[in-house]
Amino acid sequence: MGVLKSFRAGLTGKSPGETFVVVGKPVTCRHCSHNEFIEGRAQLNTAGLTFFKLDWANASAATLTCTNCGLIDWFMCDPETTEEAARK
């Protein structure tokens, strides 16, 4: 999401979600069937690397948060916006 979209969302109080595609399929919320999400990233920590203070070396996952109900879905592959997928 662009900086300008985020700024507008803060002013209006509305989440400017985007529609996404994962592995060629459109993503819909499994709780409320909404189709707009906010993309994020999350670190996947492991006990071994955390013990050695090497958390930065762990893999990360993509997250999509539903703008309607707030459910968070996790993905190991990077979701594409429908606009990005249409360009391919």
Q: What is the pLDDT of residues 55-86, one digit of tens each?
A: 666 678 999 999 999 999 999 999 999 998 89
Find, among 41, 46, 45, the residue nearest to 78 by Cα: 41
Find, among 45, 43, 34, 33, the residue nearest to 74 by Cα: 43
Residue 1 is predicted with a pLDDT of: 47
- In 10 A of CB 17, how many CB atoms? 20
- In 10 A of CB 5, how many CB atoms? 13
What's the pLDDT band for 6 if we cut at 50, 70, 90? low
What's the pLDDT band for 50 if we cut at 50, 70, 90? confident
Domain boundaries, the chain: 16-87
